[in-house]
Amino acid sequence: MKRKAEEGDDEEERSMWMHGGKWWRGPLIGRGSFGSVFLATTKKPKSQFSFFPPVMAVKSAEFSVSGSIQKEKQVLDTVQGCPYVIQCFGDEITTNAKGEMVYNLLLEYASGGTLADHIKNSGGRGLDESVIRRYTKSILEGIHHVHECGYIHCDLKPENILLVPCSTRTSGFVAKIGDFGLAKKGRERKYGRIDPSLRGTCMYMAPETVVDNVQEPPSDIWALGCVVLEMFTGKHPWDRKPDLNDEDILRLISDKFESPTIPTGISKEGKEFLKGCLVKKSMFRLTAEMLLDHPFVAGLDDHENQIESNKVWGFPSIETEKLSFSLVSDDWISSSEEECYFSEEDEEDEASSELTLEDSQESTESSLATCDGDRTLMRTLTQVSTIPAGV
């Protein structure tokens, strides 16, 4: 629970932003490096002309620094149509109390919070394997769709997996992929150039990303393996020592002899699934399509993952109760269990020599010193040029 002073700060921030044309801005429910997220309610939810659900999440930022959110809108427009990707209902420009322009991205509200919240609430014990299987299949379906659309998410982690009520259960949630602010298009070998930026959160970065600055679909699969591992253990994937800093983590990831630890007390299917995701060499890593046929998730009933349309379960009154997203603590207990086995091949890794990526014509670069926990690590931070709303 937030302290009074913090609640006052949140209320003050909310008062700085104005309502939209067809929605009321509610309490602050999240804050990130690219903007603040507010709960919003539709002004006329029962109107036959309303294209919005009764409740939404609105991601807002001053227009002058909203390039990343505007880019997220473009990506979401491309990847819409998958039930395991968070829905986008459009965007709108408003003004704040100072008369400055504010860009607002209207998104599906996930009443279950984030997967990070769910893991934290397990008290370090992890989730039940049946729940992990369901969440993993949902995330895989979303990743497969994103990859089929030609994009890489680049920042898959529990904080970016949102939980939406399930329509076929009296309780339970479906996992959806959100936060596409760092997503990028896949490589184009003939005409592109190497993307100079390194995107994502260091704890979930793939070896090829750290070593060769390569971010392609296999990098998302590595991150998925880290997320599934965290669901099993309730701990971060590189939790060897409690005092590891970002530099230590990156060193472990880049070391070809170091791998995340797979727990012994899980099913054989779970172990094999993790091994298929956490292969050091990206060329030998299983794809999303291959993993969807893996016994760990293949036997699940798709009807159990149907999503409740335009309905929020357990939605509290915004007049009487504040919502907040908790952050995952870094104070974890280290574990030493079964080491994941990876076969080392003598073939040359052609990733760095063959890699060509699209030309980022709209980008300007500024240096970024280090990665700070959940903040985005980039060797050079790509500033996305401002895009007119609705384009």
Supply the DSSP symbol for 330.
S
Please list the residues that pair with 191 across neighbouring strands.
Answer: none
Residue 270, phi then psi, degrees to nearest 5: -65, -45
In one-letter notation, the amino acid at residue 13 is: E
Place of tokens 């050079």: 380
Give the CA angle between residues 121, 83, 129 to the nearest 5°.
35
To which H or E segment does residue 328 belong? Answer: none
Contact indicator for 100, 90 with CB cutoff of 8 Å: no
Place of tokens 């063959």: 354
CA distances from 227 to 153, 206, 353 (A): 14, 12, 29
Residue 88, phi then psi, degrees to nearest 5: -115, 130
Place of tokens 């209207």: 106
Angle of helix 129-148 versus helix 217-233 axis, rounded to 10: 170
Q: Which of 155, 195, 239, 349 is catalytic?
A: 155
In one-letter notation, the amino acid at residue 258 is: E
Please list the residues that pair with 32 across neighbouring strands.
Answer: 35
- Calpha distance 153→143 (Å, rounded): 8
Q: Is 59 annotated as a binding residue?
A: yes
Structure tokens at 364: 């300007």
DSSP 232-266: HHSS-TT-SSTT--HHHHHHHHH-TT--PBPPSSS
Give the CA angle between residues 225, 373, 378 to the nearest 5°.
85
Whether residue 212 lies in the annotated active site? no
For the annotated binding site for ATP, the residues are 59
For the annotated binding site, the residues are 59
Where in the sequence numbering do the catalytic residues fall?
Answer: 155
